[in-house]
Amino acid sequence: MSSKQLVTNVSSLKGTIQVPGDKSISHRAVMFGSIAKGKTTVTGFLPGEDCLSTINCFRKMGVRITQTGEYVEIESDGINGLKEPKDILDVGNSGTTTRLMLGILATRPFHSVLIGDESIAKRPMGRVTNPLRQMGAVIDGRENGMYTPLSIRGGDTVGIQYHSPVASAQVKSAILLAGLGSKGVTTVTEPALSRDHTERMLEAFGAAVIRDGLSVSIEGGQTLTATEIKVPGDISSAAFFLAAGAIVPNSRIILKNVGMNPTRTGIVTVLQKMGAELEITNERIVNGEPVADLTISTSNLTATEISGDIIPALIDEIPIIALLATQADGQTVIRNAEELKVKETNRIDTVVTELKKMGAMIEATDDGMIIHGKSPLHGAEVNSYGDHRIGMMLAIAALLSKSDTILQDADAIAVSYPNFFDHLTELVKED
Ligand SMILES: O=C(O)C1=C[C@@H](OP(=O)(O)O)[C@@H](O)[C@H](O)C1
Ligand SMILES: C=C(OP(=O)(O)O)C(=O)O
């Protein structure tokens, strides 16, 4: 894929696709497999750049990992088998790798250095380095450990009771992983429920976690046992084709094997509220995670309001929801989404600037955006700014535009959806 991609108008999208594995679950499968004794196997793994960064980091700590496409085998001697890395740990573009791995490293009696790309260097790390320091980890780094590059020397950590100021699964997971290797009990309380894949997967690896409303506790000293993980399709990737199916004329797209964890299905709730023709079939549980097939058809959409506790359940889907709103009748308002400012880009700014170039009527607010629909879009030269989700959203917007679109920095899409353009081509061909 070239970093400059031409995307043209399509008359319809039709067909069936299997979206790639869930990114959050793929990262956790590699990390938990790396600290569990024995051989963990992972099927349905997402071979996107972020998850490959996680594999490379754990290989540098001596874990034996083989990966062929969507199949991964991890052989580990358990958490005490992790070795001091001789080289820096490169987290690439991945916030999940950085923050969750810091939680694991916080209890390891050795020194590591974490470094990532330009985008990672802007993302706030104090939200994990501060509580991990409170537990006893020695952390230094740029601006006193607030940003990468970071160095960490773990050791004799003790459990804490932590009230997180943000509803962040990365913060919650980092502290729980540190809690697993610390003395006593660790409890994390969050202001709203964030994705709970860590809690579910720790149980799959044999650890007990106690949940009580917005609090989760873990007792230190538990050991993880290797297991088999089947990763469901990523609803955050499915979201792009759900939106495309709803707004491109004459379309019907079936998405198979999509993860439907209720802490992630905000996009489904929003589509339903907007009046989308969405069918959910074949609902089942795989490996403790709900999964279903989704069918979306071209829909007449109406505007909606999105705010409050649903935000963490659709945080990564807000760029594509903004595009949906440009094609809905009325004014859509998104509030309480200030976390968008600290993702791969400031997603309030990048969504608003780039969609405006295509003719959308959209304005940024302090904690979200206001979108006036329904407005026709036209082709433009737009930029992902290295943000995979912005890139995919703009590619879907281009399908609706009568004139051609040039998407700069399209390569970024490989971070979470390496075969995105192949899937798009398949859906156009099946017309
Ligand atoms: O835990 C995870 O796998 C993730 C949590 C979310 O981030 P925050 O924890 O920063 O909200 C999300 O935006 C990210 O894509 C993946
Ligand atoms: C924010 C994201 O990921 P991460 O925080 O892992 O970089 C994302 O995938 O949209």
Final residue belonging to a domain, choices 172, 204, 230? 230
Give residue 22's pLDDT: 98
The number of distinct structural domains making up the chain is 2
Q: Are residues 104 and 165 in the same domain?
A: yes
Three-state DSSP state, 186: strand
Q: Please identify which of the residues 293, 316, 387, 409 carries the catalytic annotation.
A: 316
Q: Which of 51, 43, 46, 97 is nearest to 72 (CA)?
A: 43
Q: Are residues 252 and 208 in the same domain?
A: no
Quickly state the pLDDT bin for 429 (edges 50, 70, 90).
Answer: confident
Identify the domain containing residue 303 by its residue range. 4-21+232-429
Residue whose CB lies within 8 A of the most ligand 2 atoms, among 96, 171, 339, 350, for a mutation test: 96
Q: Which ligand is nearest to the CA of 239?
A: 2
Q: Could you give the percent of the chain with pLDDT greater than 90?
A: 98
Final residue belonging to a domain, choices 230, 247, 277? 230
Write out residues with Cβ below 6 Å of ligand 2: 23, 50, 94-96, 316, 343-344, 389, 416
Q: Are residues 16 and 74 in the same domain?
A: no
Q: Are residues 236 and 283 in the same domain?
A: yes
Which protein residue's CA is at the shortest distance from atom 15 of ligand 1?
316
pTM of the predicted protein model: 0.98
The yes-or-no verdict on residue 1 having pLDDT over 80 is no
Annotation marks residue 50 as catalytic:
no
Q: Are residues 210 and 244 in the same domain?
A: no
Q: Are residues 197 and 237 in the same domain?
A: no
Mean pLDDT over 122-131 rounds to: 98
Q: Are residues 326 and 358 in the same domain?
A: yes
Mean pLDDT over 213-223 rounds to: 98
CATH number, domain of 290, equals 3.65.10.10
- As a whole number of angstroms, the distance between CA 177 and CA 218 comes to 9
Mean pLDDT over 9-35 rounds to: 98
Q: Are residues 266 and 249 in the same domain?
A: yes
Quickly state the pLDDT bin for 75 (edges 50, 70, 90).
Answer: very high
Strands ordered across the beta sheet of 277-286: 14-18, 252-259, 289-297, 277-286
The yes-or-no verdict on residue 296 having pLDDT over 80 is yes
Q: Which residues contact 371 (CB under 8 A, 6 or more apart)?
A: 303, 322, 325, 326, 331, 332, 334, 360, 361, 362
Mean pLDDT over 107-124 rounds to: 98
Q: What is the ipTM of this complex?
A: 0.99
Dist. CA 149 → ligand 2 center (Å): 18
Q: Are residues 147 and 56 in the same domain?
A: yes
Give residue 14's pLDDT: 98
Q: Are residues 140 and 71 in the same domain?
A: yes
Final residue belonging to a domain, choices 173, 201, 230? 230
Give residue 287's pLDDT: 85
123 assigned to a ligand binding site: yes
Express each pLDDT in 323-334 by its tens digit.
Answer: 999 999 999 999
Q: Which residues contact 57 (CB under 8 A, 6 or more apart)?
A: 85, 89, 90, 91, 97, 101
Q: Give exposure, 63-91, as e/b (b: 16+ Cβ within 10 Å).
A: bebebeeeebebbbeebeebeebeeebbb
Q: Are residues 222 and 85 in the same domain?
A: yes
- As a whole number of angstroms, the distance between CA 9 and CA 133 comes to 52
Express each pLDDT in 42-60 by its tens digit.
Answer: 999 999 999 999 999 999 9
The yes-or-no verdict on residue 78 having pLDDT over 60 is yes
Quickly state the pLDDT bin for 430 (edges 50, 70, 90).
Answer: low
316 assigned to a ligand binding site: yes
- Computed over every residue of the chain, the mean pLDDT equals 97
Dist. CA 148 → ligand 2 center (Å): 16
Q: Are residues 75 and 197 in the same domain?
A: yes
Express each pLDDT in 94-109 by its tens digit.
Answer: 999 999 999 999 999 9
Q: Could you give the percent of the chain with pLDDT greater than 70?
A: 99
95 assigned to a ligand binding site: yes
